[in-house]
Amino acid sequence: MGAFLWAKPIQAQETVTEIQFEGLKRTKESFMRSMALLKKGAVLDSTLLEEDVNRFKRLPSVSNASYSVSQQNTGHVVRYQITENFTLIPFANLYSSNSEEFAFRIGLQEFNFLGRNMTLGVFYQHDVYDSYGLRFKAPYLFGPKWGMEVNYTDLTTQEPVYLESGSSYYKYNNQSIEALGLFELDHRNNFALGLNVFTEKYDYQSGATDAGVPQDLDIDKYLIKLLYNYENIRYDHQYLDGFASRLNLQYVRSQDFDQAPQFWIGFNDFIYFERWGKRGNWANRVRLGLASNVDSPFAPFTVDNNVNIRGVGNVIDRGTGSIVINTEYRHSLIEKDWFVLQSNLFVDAGSWRNPGGDFADFTDEANIRVYPGVGVRFIHKRIFNAVFRIDYGYGITKNATSGIVFGIGQYF
């Protein structure tokens, strides 16, 4: 919270004569001025000051922010005190459910490219096969409200496909290029709209076959994507408090309608955080998703270690509908100026609608997964998203497994 350096209440005539930023090293001051809601010459407004500080804290380049105000004969001087993050960050996700399943993704991202909070990143993934991707995101490229994002991926994985006669494995490749326009309505609401052009290839490797399921597919597709994010979360280093909602809608169409008919897919994450005492944080995510109910073994929603259920395995099932609940309690065991050791107790649970099935599938015992578990977090408070996590999930439902999931960043 900012420090007020005057005793009398703000009067309507009192204006801001100067705005200063202290602590900036790599971030451009011109960029921070463009992000501030309070402008020079405006009436001093403590509400805008608080909103500015919270907005700055959400920037990748900012570890913490506060403000102070001093009075002069001609008006008031506002000083924003900024503590910057280190923003050139390697990342890694590693996950395994048994000795035969192991995959990882490593990469490097700069979150403050050119000092304007642009993201430039690259990743390499090994999940039986090799994959890579490039990312450029500039949410404020055209001012404080407009930006763009461009992504290129060449993703190849071994995908299990579940048929009535049994399961099989396909080599799956997706080459895509995506361009999104970004718009921030205000500091709580932002939108993205764009086009993704991609080619999907499926090559049969082993296992069961079905006369109605092709062993080789090579299809050019495109999708139109709409994203809407609402966020009202207050940040205090690793502690979060508030609510967010994240909507993802996609329309997918193929050039060969007979092989791959058009379909819709949409899901929404509802996220809620609550501070518990001085060192506790309760975190929750509910994901609801539906897609066109096409009876296909290549259904869009997956049950996967690194996406929704910790410990369940790598892509163990698919569906055209999804309900997932993740809840966890995070507690800071050790907290120093720059380092935090955090414990984690969690329960991940979910259910899926089978391809071509109905809503009763959500209550089918065979589709329900419940995985409680424990984890630990190693957090560096001066490096953006520097959270190394280790989680162990243990299934308690039918035909359950168990496994360890590693990653960078909180699970959600």
Q: What is the pLDDT of residues 325-357, one digit of tens each?
A: 999 999 999 999 899 999 999 999 999 999 999
Domain end, chosen from 40, 57, 84, is at: 84
Are 99 and 48 in the same domain?
no
37-47: burial string, b at 16+ Cβ within 10 Å, e else: ebeeeeebeee
Which candidate, 219, 297, 287, 229, places its Cα nearest to that of 252? 219
Q: What is the pLDDT of residue 256?
A: 72
Q: What is the pLDDT of residue 95?
A: 62
Q: What is the pLDDT of residues 96-142, one digit of tens each?
A: 544 456 778 899 999 999 999 999 999 999 988 999 999 999 999 99
Q: What is the pLDDT of residue 213?
A: 80
Structural domains of the chain, count: 2
- Strand-pairing partners, residue 352, are 322
Are 161 and 303 in the same domain?
yes
- Pairing of the two strands 146-163 and 166-184: antiparallel
Q: What is the pLDDT of residue 257?
A: 65
Q: What is the pLDDT of residue 12?
A: 43
Are 38 and 167 in the same domain?
no
Confidence of residue 259 (pLDDT cuts 50, 70, 90): low
Q: What is the pLDDT of residues 208-220, one digit of tens each?
A: 888 778 888 899 9
**Which residues have C-beta within 8 Å of that of residue 213, sequence separation ≥ 6?**
161, 163, 297
Domain end, chosen from 42, 58, 84, is at: 84
| Mean of pLDDT values over 242-258 | 90
Q: What is the pLDDT of residue 329?
A: 98
- Residue 252: CATH number of its domain: 2.40.160.50
- Residue 62: CATH number of its domain: 3.10.20.310
Are 106 and 204 in the same domain?
yes
Which candidate, 396, 376, 408, 269, places its Cα nearest to that of 325? 269
Domain of residue 34, residue span: 3-84
Domain end, chosen from 84, 106, 134, is at: 84
Q: What is the pLDDT of residues 271-317, one digit of tens each?
A: 999 999 999 999 999 999 999 998 887 888 999 888 899 999 877 88
Are 303 and 281 in the same domain?
yes
Are 61 and 147 in the same domain?
no
Are 66 and 100 in the same domain?
no
DSSP assignment letter at 86: B
* Whether this model's pTM surpasses 0.85: no
Are 76 and 103 in the same domain?
no
Are 19 and 147 in the same domain?
no
Q: What is the pLDDT of residues 375-387, one digit of tens each?
A: 999 999 888 888 9
Element (H, E) at 240: strand 239-254
Are 73 and 92 in the same domain?
no
Residue 150 exposed, middle or buried by CB count within 10 Å (0-12, 13-18, 19+):
middle
Are 79 and 123 in the same domain?
no
Please check the confidence at residue 2 and state whether its pLDDT lies above 50: no
Higher-pLDDT residue of 23, 166: 23
| Mean of pLDDT values over 139-152 | 95
- The angle formed by the CA atoms of residues 323, 235 and 333, to the nearest 5 degrees, is 85
Are 199 and 335 in the same domain?
yes
Please check the confidence at residue 6 and state whether its pLDDT lies above 60: no
